[in-house]
């Protein structure tokens, strides 16, 4: 190649590459199958689902793929939206909706009684007890009569953790 062509190529502006970060959570990858097993039972007859704290969007796309009859509305704090949107962009699903901005500790739910079900995973244990109360209040606003709320995460039942591994987190659930 003549030197002048090389020189021209060197002067050509580099093409811009757009990097979209796809967040990934190991726990979500591990707990998806057992969660879907329960949701498959509990969400029978359900159409509209709100997810609180969608995080990486992994549960949203897995549930929407496994249960195509659902319309799955993701939500989270604004700072998580780019990651959720990145995951939705690579998931060929038309039954998952882009995230609503929802901080369950601050807001009342803007569209009362618009969901048959609410799902949330690993959110309550990072909130204060007052925050958890507020989340239940927002969930109550969002649900239609006879709606169902499925909440996954660490709990104490009768003073004992629901799974031994939670003991290691050493938190006052």
Ligand X SMILES: C[S@@+](CC[C@H](N)C(=O)[O-])C[C@H]1O[C@@H](n2cnc3c(N)ncnc32)[C@H](O)[C@@H]1O
Specify the residue, 48 or 76, whose C-beta has the smaller distance to ligand X. Answer: 76
Closest of 44, 48, 45, 75 to residue 59, by C-alpha: 75
Min CB(139)–ligand X separation in Å: 11
Specify the residue, 114 or 122, whose C-beta has the smaller distance to ligand X. Answer: 122
Specify the residue, 84 or 148, whose C-beta has the smaller distance to ligand X. Answer: 84
Q: Which residue is nearest to ligand X (CB)?
A: 55
Min CB(125)–ligand X separation in Å: 8
Min CB(2)–ligand X separation in Å: 56
Beta pairing, strands 160-161 & 156-157: antiparallel
Min CB(54)–ligand X separation in Å: 6
Specify the residue, 82 or 126, whose C-beta has the smaller distance to ligand X. Answer: 126
CB neighbour list of residue 63: distance below 8 Å, 6 or more residues apart = 35, 36, 39, 49, 70, 72, 119
Closest of 121, 119, 99, 97 to residue 30, by C-alpha: 121
Q: Are 110 and 79 in contact (CB under 8 A)?
A: no
**Cα–Cα dist 105/159, whole Å:** 26
Min CB(52)–ligand X separation in Å: 6
Q: Are 62 and 51 in contact (CB under 8 A)?
A: no
**Cα–Cα dist 32/84, whole Å:** 16
Specify the residue, 85 or 122, whose C-beta has the smaller distance to ligand X. Answer: 122
> Binding residues for ligand X, per CB under 6 A?
25, 28, 52-56, 59, 76-77, 80, 102-105, 121-123, 126
């Amino acid at each position: 190649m003549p030197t002048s062509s090389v020189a021209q190529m060197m002067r050509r502006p580099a093409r811009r590459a757009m990097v979209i970060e796809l967040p990934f959570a190991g726990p979500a990858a591990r707990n998806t199958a057992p969660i879907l097993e329960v949701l498959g039972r509990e969400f029978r007859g359900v159409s509209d689902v709100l997810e609180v704290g969608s995080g990486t969007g992994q549960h949203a796309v897995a549930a929407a793929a496994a249960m195509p009859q659902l319309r799955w509305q993701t939500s989270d704090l604004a700072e998580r939206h780019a990651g959720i949107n990145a995951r939705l962009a690579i998931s060929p699903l038309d039954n998952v909706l882009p995230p609503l901005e929802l901080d369950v500790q601050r807001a009342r739910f803007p569209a009362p009684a618009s969901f048959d079900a609410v799902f949330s995973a690993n959110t309550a244990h990072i909130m204060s007890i007052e925050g958890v109360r507020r989340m239940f209040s927002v969930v109550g606003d969002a649900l239609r009569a006879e709606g169902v709320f499925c909440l996954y995460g660490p709990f104490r039942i009768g003073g004992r953790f629901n799974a031994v591994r939670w003991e290691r987190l050493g938190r006052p659930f």
